[in-house]
Amino acid sequence: MLYTASFYAPGNWEGLRYRVSRSHPRGRRTQWETLPFLYPARDLLVAYRAGEMDFAALSAEYRSSLDLRHNESPDLRDWLARITDLGDFTLLCFEREGQPCHRVVLAEWLLERAPGLVRGRIR
């Protein structure tokens, strides 16, 4: 089952934990695996933070990049092929619950591409 949560809400973490952000929270002990093939592009994040694009544009660009990576990355295809065997897992990044966040976009993208993947709490 797929969950999403903030690094700052460990009470919301379920099962395996995967960091899907480009960086690690400062001062925090690593308690997760990394999935670099799912990170949003740095230039995309910079443009969003600078106000050069809204969240809808960031979401569309990120989804397009995921589609491209799916076609080009054996690591992503392999991980996606075994995603339903992972049991419960949580995608983690910085944004607090209720804030626009790429992890929610990613969760929706994964649910569309992985038959049998069950949606848990998406925060």
pTM of structure:
0.94
Place of tokens 């919301």: 12
Distances (CA, A) of 8 to 57, 103, 113, 117: 26, 14, 28, 25
| 19 φ, ψ (degrees, to nearest 5) | -80, 125
Residue 39 β-bridge partners: none
Q: Give CA–CA dist 12/21, Å, rounded.
A: 17
Nearest alpha carbon to residue 106 among 2, 1, 23: 2
- pLDDT tens per residue across span 23-78: 988 888 889 999 999 999 999 999 999 999 999 999 999 999 999 999 999 999 99
